[in-house]
Structures are given as C-alpha cells and as structure tokens.
C-alpha cells in the first residue's frame, strides 16, 4: 500500500540584512509568504472513492482488522467493490467473510463463487481452498460425481502447489493415491490447459 505520509517545510526564515525593497519587481512580503502550489496528496479514501481497486482492498483490510476501526460490514463493502474489479485478494477475503457470516449474511454459494473467481485468476490460496472443497466432495458424492471431484481436486491442488502454497503438495499427493492413470492424465491435461483470466485493472471514475 502506498505511503501517504509526507513532510512539509513549514518554518519561515527571516533575513534582516540590508535590502533594497523598492528595486524588486515583486513586493517583499508577497515574495516572502508566497509558496509554489503543490499537488494535493490523494488519500487512500479518495483513491478508493475514485474506483482504485487496490485502495478499496486496503480499506477493506483496515476495517477488518481488530481495533477501534474494526467494522466488518464496512470491510465487506470495500472488498466487494475491489472484488468486482477482479482483485484476487479481495475476492478471497470476501469469500471467507461469506463463509463465516462476518459483516454479511452467511451464504455458502456466494463464498464458493468468489473463491472460484479468485482461483480462476490464479490466486494460490484460493486454488488450494477450491481443491480441498472438491476433495471433500469426492468423499461424499456418488461414484460419478466423486470421480470428477477428484480430478478437479487434483487440478487445483497441483496448481496451488506449483506456486508453493503451504500444504497443497501433500494434499495433491494424497488425492493422487486414489486416482487411476487415466484420471491423472485427465487432470494433467486440465492443468496444462489452465490459463489465469486477466487480473484486475485500476478503474478511475
């Protein structure tokens, strides 16, 4: 997050030596107190209001933290604005909030939807979460559904493992133990075909 703290020199220095005031084109006191105009410092709030997804995400983090500013509904609102612009971390955090009912009504479908969007964008944490969800589904569903879920779990967990996400490699290896060579080959083809969708672009109103 950009550091918006700037130092301004506010001390006036007076010189009382001989001065030919009448020969100056600009009156003495006008020159003394005049300052070159400086561009206004744009705050995180201003940037967020103008549609900057990174600033919107930063405000979401600010309101989600513990402390006097903690406000889960506000955090969810800012995460949603950033998530709508395909900000992966905002999508991930929003998915977690929907799953836990923090600042929003608990909604498993919306949680899954936002987590899937983040995974499609290439976020390793989201890919791990999606992979584990498919792994759990493979243990509870019908044989046909379980097969598809295992292949999807294999795909997403290996994609997360390729980015070094903690725990994903062990989970991927465990899923692979229950797969046939054909299943593994199918999963490999899906991994090779995976291309992350375009990440967010800052939108300024």
115-172 residue pLDDT tens: 999 999 999 999 999 999 999 999 987 787 899 999 999 999 999 999 999 999 999 9
Tell whether 48 is covered by a domain.
yes
Are both 102 and 164 inside the same structural domain? Answer: no
**Intra-chain end-to-end CA distance of the chain, in Å:** 20
Q: 């009156």: which residue's tokens?
A: 27
For the chain, what is the mean pLDDT?
A: 82
Looking at 91, 121, 151, which one is the last position of a domain?
A: 121
User: What is the extent of the structural domain holding 174?
Assistant: 123-196
Give the mean model confidence (pLDDT) for residues 70-74: 94
Distances (CA, A) of 166 to 62, 118, 162, 170, 172: 26, 17, 10, 9, 11
Radius of gyration of the chain measured on its C-alpha atoms: 27
Are both 140 and 72 inside the same structural domain? Answer: no
pLDDT at 144: 79
User: pLDDT tens digits, residue range 86-120?
Assistant: 999 999 999 999 999 999 999 999 999 999 999 99
Are both 133 and 180 inside the same structural domain? Answer: yes
Looking at 95, 121, 147, which one is the last position of a domain?
A: 121
Quote the CA–CA distance of 46 and 20 in Å, as a whole number. Answer: 46
More confidently predicted of 111 and 25: 111
Looking at 104, 121, 138, which one is the last position of a domain?
A: 121
């Amino acid at each position: 997050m950009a550091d918006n703290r700037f130092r301004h020199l506010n001390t006036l220095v007076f010189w009382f030596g001989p001065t030919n005031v009448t020969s100056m084109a600009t009156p003495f006191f006008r020159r003394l107190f005049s300052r070159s105009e400086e561009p206004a410092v744009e705050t995180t709030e201003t940037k967020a209001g103008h549609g900057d997804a990174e600033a919107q995400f930063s405000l979401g983090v600010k309101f989600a933290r513990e402390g006097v500013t903690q406000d889960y509904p506000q955090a969810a609102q800012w995460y949603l604005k950033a998530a709508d612009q395909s900000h992966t971390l905002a999508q991930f955090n929003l998915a977690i909030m929907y799953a836990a009912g923090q600042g929003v009504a608990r909604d498993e479908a919306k949680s899954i939807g936002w987590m899937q969007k983040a995974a499609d964008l290439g976020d390793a944490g989201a890919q791990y979460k999606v992979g584990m969800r498919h792994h759990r589904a493979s243990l509870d569903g019908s044989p046909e559904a379980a097969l598809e879920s295992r292949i999807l779990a294999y795909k997403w967990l290996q994609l997360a493992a390729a980015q070094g996400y903690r725990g994903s490699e062990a989970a991927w290896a465990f899923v692979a133990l229950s797969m046939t060579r054909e299943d593994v080959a199918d999963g490999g083809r899906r991994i090779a075909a995976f291309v992350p969708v375009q990440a967010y672009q800052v939108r300024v109103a």
